[in-house]
Chains A and B, each alone.
Chain A
Amino acid sequence: MPPTAPERPAIEFVDVSYVAPGGQAVLSRLNLSVRGGETLVLLGRSGSGKTTTLKLVNRLLLPSAGEVRVNGVPNSQGDVIRLRRSIGYVIQDVGLFPHFTVERNIGLVPTIEGWPQERIRSRISELLQMVGLDAALASRYPHQLSGGQRQRVGVARALAADPGILLMDEPFGALDPLTRAELQQEFLALQQRLRKTVVFVTHDLREALRLGSRIALMEAGRLVKLLTPQDFLRSGDPMVSAYVNAFGGCGDEGPERAGNRGAE
Protein backbone atom coordinates (compact mmCIF):
# COMPACT_ATOMS: atom_id res chain seq x y z
CA MET A 1 0.00 0.00 0.00
CA PRO A 2 2.76 2.57 0.74
CA PRO A 3 3.96 4.34 -2.39
CA THR A 4 7.16 2.85 -3.71
CA ALA A 5 8.93 5.94 -5.04
CA PRO A 6 10.88 7.73 -2.29
CA GLU A 7 9.27 11.07 -3.04
CA ARG A 8 9.34 14.21 -0.93
CA PRO A 9 7.42 13.56 2.30
CA ALA A 10 4.09 15.35 2.66
CA ILE A 11 4.74 16.13 6.31
CA GLU A 12 8.06 16.10 8.06
CA PHE A 13 8.91 16.56 11.71
CA VAL A 14 12.52 17.58 12.19
CA ASP A 15 13.78 17.44 15.77
CA VAL A 16 10.49 18.77 17.03
CA SER A 17 10.00 19.38 20.73
CA TYR A 18 7.01 20.87 22.41
CA VAL A 19 6.89 22.19 25.93
CA ALA A 20 3.43 22.99 27.29
CA PRO A 21 2.80 26.47 28.73
CA GLY A 22 2.97 24.88 32.20
CA GLY A 23 6.58 23.83 31.51
CA GLN A 24 5.83 20.15 30.95
CA ALA A 25 7.71 18.54 28.06
CA VAL A 26 5.03 16.93 25.90
CA LEU A 27 7.12 16.06 22.89
CA SER A 28 10.87 15.55 22.72
CA ARG A 29 12.92 15.56 19.56
CA LEU A 30 10.40 13.97 17.28
CA ASN A 31 11.63 12.96 13.82
CA LEU A 32 8.97 11.58 11.55
CA SER A 33 8.11 11.67 7.87
CA VAL A 34 4.65 11.13 6.49
CA ARG A 35 4.59 9.99 2.88
CA GLY A 36 2.18 11.45 0.41
CA GLY A 37 -0.98 9.37 0.11
CA GLU A 38 -0.37 7.14 3.11
CA THR A 39 -2.37 6.77 6.29
CA LEU A 40 0.04 7.18 9.13
CA VAL A 41 -1.45 6.19 12.47
CA LEU A 42 -0.14 7.77 15.65
CA LEU A 43 -0.76 5.14 18.29
CA GLY A 44 -0.19 5.48 21.99
CA ARG A 45 -1.79 5.90 25.37
CA SER A 46 -3.35 9.13 26.58
CA GLY A 47 -0.75 11.81 27.19
CA SER A 48 1.83 10.25 24.88
CA GLY A 49 1.82 13.33 22.64
CA LYS A 50 -0.27 12.10 19.70
CA THR A 51 -2.72 14.98 19.62
CA THR A 52 0.05 17.50 20.18
CA THR A 53 1.89 16.05 17.19
CA LEU A 54 -1.25 16.47 15.10
CA LYS A 55 -1.86 20.05 16.19
CA LEU A 56 1.70 21.00 15.30
CA VAL A 57 0.93 20.21 11.67
CA ASN A 58 -1.82 22.80 11.23
CA ARG A 59 -0.17 25.19 13.68
CA LEU A 60 -2.82 25.01 16.34
CA LEU A 61 0.35 24.62 18.39
CA LEU A 62 3.81 25.95 17.67
CA PRO A 63 6.87 23.79 18.35
CA SER A 64 9.22 24.91 21.11
CA ALA A 65 12.12 23.63 19.02
CA GLY A 66 12.58 22.05 15.64
CA GLU A 67 10.59 22.41 12.48
CA VAL A 68 7.48 20.96 10.92
CA ARG A 69 7.46 20.91 7.13
CA VAL A 70 4.37 20.56 5.05
CA ASN A 71 5.04 19.66 1.41
CA GLY A 72 8.66 20.53 1.97
CA VAL A 73 8.03 24.01 3.30
CA PRO A 74 8.39 24.88 7.00
CA ASN A 75 4.83 25.51 8.15
CA SER A 76 5.97 28.49 10.17
CA GLN A 77 6.45 30.26 6.85
CA GLY A 78 3.51 31.83 5.15
CA ASP A 79 -0.04 32.46 6.17
CA VAL A 80 -1.43 30.24 8.91
CA ILE A 81 -4.99 30.63 7.58
CA ARG A 82 -3.95 29.41 4.11
CA LEU A 83 -2.10 26.52 5.70
CA ARG A 84 -5.12 25.42 7.73
CA ARG A 85 -7.49 25.67 4.80
CA SER A 86 -5.22 23.34 2.85
CA ILE A 87 -5.42 20.73 5.62
CA GLY A 88 -8.58 18.93 6.63
CA TYR A 89 -9.14 18.52 10.35
CA VAL A 90 -11.45 16.04 12.04
CA ILE A 91 -11.72 15.73 15.82
CA GLN A 92 -13.41 13.26 18.16
CA ASP A 93 -15.93 15.80 19.44
CA VAL A 94 -16.65 16.63 15.79
CA GLY A 95 -17.17 20.29 16.60
CA LEU A 96 -19.95 20.89 14.11
CA PHE A 97 -21.35 24.40 14.30
CA PRO A 98 -24.64 23.84 16.14
CA HIS A 99 -26.31 26.92 14.67
CA PHE A 100 -25.54 25.92 11.07
CA THR A 101 -27.36 23.30 9.02
CA VAL A 102 -25.42 20.34 7.68
CA GLU A 103 -24.94 22.04 4.32
CA ARG A 104 -23.71 25.28 5.86
CA ASN A 105 -21.31 23.32 8.02
CA ILE A 106 -19.89 21.52 5.02
CA GLY A 107 -19.92 24.59 2.79
CA LEU A 108 -18.33 27.01 5.25
CA VAL A 109 -14.77 26.93 3.99
CA PRO A 110 -15.78 27.02 0.31
CA THR A 111 -18.06 29.94 1.16
CA ILE A 112 -15.41 32.02 2.89
CA GLU A 113 -13.04 31.06 0.10
CA GLY A 114 -15.50 32.77 -2.22
CA TRP A 115 -16.54 29.83 -4.38
CA PRO A 116 -19.57 30.53 -6.59
CA GLN A 117 -22.88 29.36 -5.09
CA GLU A 118 -23.46 26.76 -7.79
CA ARG A 119 -20.10 25.12 -7.23
CA ILE A 120 -20.61 25.04 -3.46
CA ARG A 121 -23.99 23.40 -3.85
CA SER A 122 -22.73 20.68 -6.16
CA ARG A 123 -19.70 20.12 -3.92
CA ILE A 124 -21.96 19.65 -0.90
CA SER A 125 -24.11 17.03 -2.58
CA GLU A 126 -21.00 15.30 -3.91
CA LEU A 127 -19.54 15.17 -0.40
CA LEU A 128 -22.77 13.98 1.23
CA GLN A 129 -22.83 11.11 -1.20
CA MET A 130 -19.14 10.44 -0.68
CA VAL A 131 -19.55 9.98 3.08
CA GLY A 132 -22.76 8.00 2.67
CA LEU A 133 -25.31 10.54 3.86
CA ASP A 134 -28.78 11.04 2.45
CA ALA A 135 -29.14 14.33 0.60
CA ALA A 136 -32.27 14.99 2.65
CA LEU A 137 -30.07 15.53 5.71
CA ALA A 138 -28.54 18.66 4.18
CA SER A 139 -31.04 20.99 5.79
CA ARG A 140 -30.91 19.35 9.23
CA TYR A 141 -29.13 20.77 12.24
CA PRO A 142 -26.37 18.80 13.97
CA HIS A 143 -28.50 18.07 17.04
CA GLN A 144 -30.96 16.24 14.79
CA LEU A 145 -28.32 13.73 13.69
CA SER A 146 -26.98 10.53 15.24
CA GLY A 147 -23.38 10.34 16.41
CA GLY A 148 -22.29 8.43 13.33
CA GLN A 149 -24.04 10.88 11.01
CA ARG A 150 -22.42 13.80 12.78
CA GLN A 151 -18.97 12.34 12.35
CA ARG A 152 -19.67 11.74 8.66
CA VAL A 153 -20.58 15.39 8.33
CA GLY A 154 -17.34 16.20 10.16
CA VAL A 155 -15.39 14.21 7.58
CA ALA A 156 -17.30 15.80 4.70
CA ARG A 157 -16.61 19.26 6.12
CA ALA A 158 -12.91 18.50 6.38
CA LEU A 159 -12.85 17.35 2.76
CA ALA A 160 -14.87 20.31 1.47
CA ALA A 161 -12.06 22.34 -0.07
CA ASP A 162 -10.31 19.17 -1.27
CA PRO A 163 -7.24 19.39 0.98
CA GLY A 164 -4.27 17.15 0.22
CA ILE A 165 -3.74 16.38 3.89
CA LEU A 166 -6.25 15.13 6.43
CA LEU A 167 -5.63 15.22 10.18
CA MET A 168 -7.92 12.96 12.18
CA ASP A 169 -7.87 12.99 15.97
CA GLU A 170 -9.67 9.89 17.26
CA PRO A 171 -12.49 10.59 14.85
CA PHE A 172 -14.35 7.37 15.62
CA GLY A 173 -13.48 7.18 19.31
CA ALA A 174 -16.85 8.30 20.65
CA LEU A 175 -18.94 6.00 18.46
CA ASP A 176 -20.52 2.68 19.35
CA PRO A 177 -18.57 -0.37 18.10
CA LEU A 178 -20.89 -1.12 15.19
CA THR A 179 -20.98 2.42 13.87
CA ARG A 180 -17.25 2.66 14.38
CA ALA A 181 -16.62 -0.46 12.30
CA GLU A 182 -18.90 0.92 9.62
CA LEU A 183 -17.09 4.23 9.47
CA GLN A 184 -13.70 2.54 9.47
CA GLN A 185 -14.81 0.46 6.52
CA GLU A 186 -16.00 3.53 4.66
CA PHE A 187 -12.86 5.41 5.54
CA LEU A 188 -10.79 2.64 3.92
CA ALA A 189 -12.93 2.73 0.78
CA LEU A 190 -12.80 6.51 0.65
CA GLN A 191 -9.04 6.58 1.15
CA GLN A 192 -8.64 4.01 -1.62
CA ARG A 193 -10.26 6.50 -3.94
CA LEU A 194 -8.97 9.82 -2.68
CA ARG A 195 -5.40 8.92 -1.66
CA LYS A 196 -5.10 11.78 0.80
CA THR A 197 -2.17 12.03 3.11
CA VAL A 198 -3.77 11.11 6.41
CA VAL A 199 -2.41 11.40 9.93
CA PHE A 200 -4.71 9.45 12.19
CA VAL A 201 -4.56 9.51 15.97
CA THR A 202 -5.93 6.61 17.98
CA HIS A 203 -5.21 4.57 21.08
CA ASP A 204 -7.05 1.59 19.65
CA LEU A 205 -4.58 -0.94 18.29
CA ARG A 206 -7.22 -2.72 16.20
CA GLU A 207 -8.14 0.53 14.52
CA ALA A 208 -4.47 1.28 13.90
CA LEU A 209 -3.84 -2.14 12.35
CA ARG A 210 -6.91 -1.87 10.24
CA LEU A 211 -6.51 1.63 8.87
CA GLY A 212 -2.82 2.42 8.93
CA SER A 213 -0.30 1.95 6.17
CA ARG A 214 2.26 2.58 8.90
CA ILE A 215 1.93 2.81 12.66
CA ALA A 216 3.96 5.20 14.78
CA LEU A 217 3.92 4.05 18.38
CA MET A 218 4.41 6.92 20.79
CA GLU A 219 5.19 6.86 24.47
CA ALA A 220 5.84 9.79 26.80
CA GLY A 221 6.45 12.26 24.01
CA ARG A 222 8.79 10.05 22.03
CA LEU A 223 8.44 8.00 18.91
CA VAL A 224 9.09 4.41 19.97
CA LYS A 225 8.75 2.59 16.67
CA LEU A 226 7.50 3.22 13.18
CA LEU A 227 6.28 -0.01 11.61
CA THR A 228 3.86 -1.41 9.07
CA PRO A 229 0.89 -3.24 10.62
CA GLN A 230 2.40 -6.61 9.71
CA ASP A 231 5.76 -5.81 11.30
CA PHE A 232 4.02 -4.28 14.29
CA LEU A 233 2.50 -7.63 15.24
CA ARG A 234 5.80 -9.44 14.73
CA SER A 235 8.01 -6.91 16.44
CA GLY A 236 10.10 -8.06 19.37
CA ASP A 237 10.31 -4.57 20.81
CA PRO A 238 9.12 -4.76 24.44
CA MET A 239 6.94 -1.65 24.22
CA VAL A 240 5.34 -2.77 21.01
CA SER A 241 4.60 -6.25 22.34
CA ALA A 242 3.29 -4.71 25.57
CA TYR A 243 0.79 -2.80 23.49
CA VAL A 244 -0.08 -5.87 21.44
CA ASN A 245 -0.51 -7.99 24.57
CA ALA A 246 -2.76 -5.38 26.14
CA PHE A 247 -5.10 -5.96 23.23
CA GLY A 248 -5.20 -9.68 23.79
CA GLY A 249 -2.53 -10.52 21.28
CA CYS A 250 -4.49 -9.33 18.27
CA GLY A 251 -3.07 -12.33 16.44
CA ASP A 252 -6.49 -12.99 14.94
CA GLU A 253 -6.51 -9.43 13.72
CA GLY A 254 -8.21 -8.78 10.45
CA PRO A 255 -10.64 -6.34 9.03
CA GLU A 256 -13.53 -8.58 10.10
CA ARG A 257 -12.48 -8.59 13.70
CA ALA A 258 -11.80 -4.93 14.15
CA GLY A 259 -14.45 -2.88 15.83
CA ASN A 260 -14.64 -5.22 18.81
CA ARG A 261 -14.21 -3.28 21.96
CA GLY A 262 -10.74 -1.88 22.00
CA ALA A 263 -9.11 0.12 24.73
CA GLU A 264 -10.98 2.25 27.28
Chain B
Amino acid sequence: MNFFHFIGQNHAQVLELTLEHLWLVGWSTFFAIVIGLPLGIAIARHPASSKPVLTVANIIQTIPSLALFGFLLPVPWLGDRADRLAILALTLYALLPVIRNTYTGIRGVDPAVVEAGRGMGLTDSQLLFQVQLPLALSVILSGVRVAIVISVGLATIAAAIGAGGLGEFIFRGLAMVNNQLILAGAIPAALLALVADFSVGWLERRLQPR
Protein backbone atom coordinates (compact mmCIF):
# COMPACT_ATOMS: atom_id res chain seq x y z
CA MET B 1 0.00 0.00 0.00
CA ASN B 2 1.62 3.27 -0.99
CA PHE B 3 1.35 6.61 0.71
CA PHE B 4 -1.13 8.19 -1.69
CA HIS B 5 -3.34 5.18 -1.48
CA PHE B 6 -3.36 5.54 2.30
CA ILE B 7 -4.24 9.23 2.12
CA GLY B 8 -7.02 8.45 -0.36
CA GLN B 9 -8.54 5.88 1.89
CA ASN B 10 -8.28 7.97 5.03
CA HIS B 11 -8.87 11.40 3.61
CA ALA B 12 -11.64 12.16 6.10
CA GLN B 13 -9.33 11.56 9.03
CA VAL B 14 -6.44 13.41 7.39
CA LEU B 15 -8.72 16.37 6.90
CA GLU B 16 -9.99 16.22 10.46
CA LEU B 17 -6.52 16.08 11.96
CA THR B 18 -5.33 18.86 9.66
CA LEU B 19 -8.20 21.04 10.87
CA GLU B 20 -7.33 20.23 14.48
CA HIS B 21 -3.77 21.14 13.70
CA LEU B 22 -4.84 24.44 12.21
CA TRP B 23 -7.01 25.08 15.24
CA LEU B 24 -4.01 24.74 17.56
CA VAL B 25 -1.73 26.81 15.34
CA GLY B 26 -4.36 29.45 14.64
CA TRP B 27 -5.19 30.16 18.26
CA SER B 28 -1.61 30.09 19.47
CA THR B 29 -0.52 32.47 16.72
CA PHE B 30 -3.46 34.73 17.54
CA PHE B 31 -2.54 34.83 21.23
CA ALA B 32 1.15 35.27 20.46
CA ILE B 33 0.31 38.35 18.38
CA VAL B 34 -2.19 39.73 20.90
CA ILE B 35 0.38 39.42 23.69
CA GLY B 36 3.64 39.79 21.79
CA LEU B 37 2.85 42.87 19.73
CA PRO B 38 1.97 45.20 22.65
CA LEU B 39 4.88 43.76 24.62
CA GLY B 40 7.25 44.42 21.73
CA ILE B 41 5.92 47.97 21.41
CA ALA B 42 6.32 48.52 25.14
CA ILE B 43 9.95 47.40 25.24
CA ALA B 44 10.73 49.42 22.11
CA ARG B 45 9.55 52.49 24.01
CA HIS B 46 11.40 51.58 27.18
CA PRO B 47 14.58 49.94 25.93
CA ALA B 48 15.76 49.36 29.50
CA SER B 49 13.05 46.74 29.89
CA SER B 50 13.89 45.00 26.63
CA LYS B 51 16.65 42.84 28.05
CA PRO B 52 14.65 41.07 30.78
CA VAL B 53 11.60 40.56 28.56
CA LEU B 54 13.59 39.15 25.66
CA THR B 55 15.63 36.99 28.02
CA VAL B 56 12.51 35.42 29.52
CA ALA B 57 11.06 34.80 26.06
CA ASN B 58 14.37 33.29 25.04
CA ILE B 59 14.48 30.97 28.03
CA ILE B 60 10.94 29.76 27.37
CA GLN B 61 12.01 28.88 23.89
CA THR B 62 14.83 26.68 25.16
CA ILE B 63 12.52 24.47 27.24
CA PRO B 64 12.07 21.16 25.43
CA SER B 65 8.51 21.10 24.18
CA LEU B 66 7.64 17.67 25.48
CA ALA B 67 8.78 18.78 28.95
CA LEU B 68 6.72 21.98 28.75
CA PHE B 69 3.60 20.02 27.88
CA GLY B 70 4.33 17.79 30.86
CA PHE B 71 4.87 20.73 33.24
CA LEU B 72 1.57 22.31 32.27
CA LEU B 73 -0.44 19.12 32.65
CA PRO B 74 -1.19 19.52 36.39
CA VAL B 75 -2.33 23.16 36.02
CA PRO B 76 -6.02 23.37 36.99
CA TRP B 77 -8.59 24.27 34.28
CA LEU B 78 -5.87 24.22 31.66
CA GLY B 79 -4.95 20.62 32.32
CA ASP B 80 -8.60 19.60 31.96
CA ARG B 81 -8.50 19.98 28.22
CA ALA B 82 -5.50 18.97 26.21
CA ASP B 83 -6.12 21.49 23.44
CA ARG B 84 -6.12 24.44 25.85
CA LEU B 85 -2.86 23.27 27.24
CA ALA B 86 -1.34 22.78 23.83
CA ILE B 87 -2.46 26.24 22.73
CA LEU B 88 -0.86 27.78 25.82
CA ALA B 89 2.42 25.98 25.25
CA LEU B 90 2.49 26.85 21.56
CA THR B 91 1.70 30.48 22.38
CA LEU B 92 4.68 30.61 24.72
CA TYR B 93 6.95 29.34 21.97
CA ALA B 94 5.54 31.70 19.37
CA LEU B 95 6.00 34.74 21.61
CA LEU B 96 9.72 35.25 21.12
CA PRO B 97 9.77 35.88 17.37
CA VAL B 98 6.77 38.21 17.61
CA ILE B 99 8.19 40.25 20.50
CA ARG B 100 11.68 40.35 19.10
CA ASN B 101 10.67 41.40 15.59
CA THR B 102 8.23 44.03 16.85
CA TYR B 103 11.03 45.44 18.96
CA THR B 104 13.67 45.40 16.23
CA GLY B 105 11.18 46.61 13.64
CA ILE B 106 10.24 49.68 15.65
CA ARG B 107 13.79 50.42 16.77
CA GLY B 108 14.90 50.08 13.17
CA VAL B 109 12.76 52.94 11.89
CA ASP B 110 15.01 55.76 10.64
CA PRO B 111 15.65 58.03 13.66
CA ALA B 112 15.40 61.11 11.42
CA VAL B 113 11.84 60.11 10.51
CA VAL B 114 10.89 59.66 14.15
CA GLU B 115 12.51 62.93 15.14
CA ALA B 116 10.79 64.79 12.33
CA GLY B 117 7.47 63.30 13.43
CA ARG B 118 8.03 64.28 17.02
CA GLY B 119 9.19 67.75 16.05
CA MET B 120 6.06 68.22 13.94
CA GLY B 121 3.93 67.60 16.99
CA LEU B 122 2.72 64.04 16.51
CA THR B 123 1.52 62.50 19.74
CA ASP B 124 3.07 59.22 20.85
CA SER B 125 0.15 57.21 19.54
CA GLN B 126 0.03 59.10 16.23
CA LEU B 127 3.72 58.43 15.84
CA LEU B 128 3.19 54.76 16.65
CA PHE B 129 0.20 54.08 14.43
CA GLN B 130 0.98 56.39 11.52
CA VAL B 131 4.73 56.05 11.35
CA GLN B 132 6.45 53.41 13.44
CA LEU B 133 4.08 50.45 13.05
CA PRO B 134 3.54 50.89 9.30
CA LEU B 135 7.29 51.14 8.74
CA ALA B 136 8.00 48.16 11.01
CA LEU B 137 5.18 46.07 9.59
CA SER B 138 7.19 43.89 7.25
CA VAL B 139 9.71 43.08 9.98
CA ILE B 140 6.87 42.27 12.40
CA LEU B 141 5.22 40.05 9.80
CA SER B 142 8.39 38.10 9.28
CA GLY B 143 8.35 37.43 13.03
CA VAL B 144 4.77 36.21 12.74
CA ARG B 145 5.83 33.98 9.87
CA VAL B 146 8.53 32.39 11.99
CA ALA B 147 6.03 32.00 14.83
CA ILE B 148 3.59 30.15 12.59
CA VAL B 149 6.21 27.82 11.20
CA ILE B 150 7.44 27.00 14.71
CA SER B 151 3.87 26.36 15.84
CA VAL B 152 3.06 24.05 12.93
CA GLY B 153 6.08 21.95 13.76
CA LEU B 154 5.61 21.90 17.52
CA ALA B 155 1.90 21.23 17.30
CA THR B 156 2.71 17.71 16.07
CA ILE B 157 4.13 17.02 19.52
CA ALA B 158 0.89 18.18 21.15
CA ALA B 159 -0.60 14.85 20.09
CA ALA B 160 1.52 13.29 22.83
CA ILE B 161 -0.77 14.84 25.44
CA GLY B 162 -3.87 14.05 23.44
CA ALA B 163 -4.44 17.46 21.90
CA GLY B 164 -4.95 15.98 18.45
CA GLY B 165 -3.58 17.31 15.22
CA LEU B 166 -1.43 15.66 12.63
CA GLY B 167 0.93 14.44 15.33
CA GLU B 168 -1.61 11.66 15.99
CA PHE B 169 -0.58 9.94 12.77
CA ILE B 170 3.08 10.40 13.58
CA PHE B 171 2.86 8.97 17.09
CA ARG B 172 0.62 6.14 15.95
CA GLY B 173 3.00 5.38 13.11
CA LEU B 174 5.95 5.39 15.48
CA ALA B 175 4.20 2.97 17.81
CA MET B 176 3.18 0.66 14.97
CA VAL B 177 6.46 1.06 13.08
CA ASN B 178 4.41 2.16 10.08
CA ASN B 179 6.11 4.61 7.78
CA GLN B 180 2.93 5.33 5.81
CA LEU B 181 1.28 6.61 8.96
CA ILE B 182 4.24 8.74 9.95
CA LEU B 183 4.33 10.29 6.49
CA ALA B 184 0.56 10.85 6.55
CA GLY B 185 1.17 13.12 9.53
CA ALA B 186 4.51 14.60 8.57
CA ILE B 187 3.82 15.53 4.95
CA PRO B 188 0.59 17.49 5.52
CA ALA B 189 2.27 19.22 8.46
CA ALA B 190 5.21 20.20 6.28
CA LEU B 191 2.83 21.40 3.58
CA LEU B 192 0.95 23.49 6.12
CA ALA B 193 4.20 25.12 7.22
CA LEU B 194 5.19 25.81 3.63
CA VAL B 195 1.83 27.31 2.70
CA ALA B 196 1.81 29.51 5.81
CA ASP B 197 5.40 30.55 5.19
CA PHE B 198 4.68 31.41 1.59
CA SER B 199 1.46 33.32 2.16
CA VAL B 200 2.72 35.44 5.05
CA GLY B 201 5.91 36.01 3.08
CA TRP B 202 3.83 37.25 0.19
CA LEU B 203 1.92 39.61 2.49
CA GLU B 204 5.20 40.80 3.91
CA ARG B 205 6.55 41.74 0.49
CA ARG B 206 3.34 43.48 -0.47
CA LEU B 207 3.47 45.62 2.65
CA GLN B 208 7.16 46.40 2.39
CA PRO B 209 7.62 50.15 2.85
CA ARG B 210 9.34 51.74 -0.07
Contacts and interface: CB of A to CB of B under 8 A. Distances in A.
Interface of A: 58, 60, 81-85, 89, 91, 93-99, 108-109, 112, 141, 143, 154, 157-158, 167
A97 B115 contact: no
A98 B121 contact: no
Given A98-B209, A99-B210, A141-B210, A84 B112 contact: no
Interface in B96-138: 110, 112-123, 126, 130-131, 134-135
B112 A91 contact: yes
Chain B binding surface, main DSSP class: helix
Highest count of chain A CB atoms <10 Å: which of B116, B119, B130, B131: B119
Contact of B121 (A85, A91, A94): A85
A19 B135 CA distance: 32
Given A98-B135, A99-B135, A99-B209, A84 B116 contact: no
Given A60-B118, A91-B119, A94-B112, 12 more contacts: A60-B119, A85-B121, A95-B112, A95-B116, A96-B113, A96-B116, A97-B117, A98-B210, A99-B210, A108-B120, A143-B210, A158-B120
Contacts of B115: 60, 91, 95
B121 A97 contact: no
B121 A95 contact: no
Given A58-B119, A84-B119, A112-B126, A93 B112 contact: yes
Interface string B133-156: 011000000000000000000000
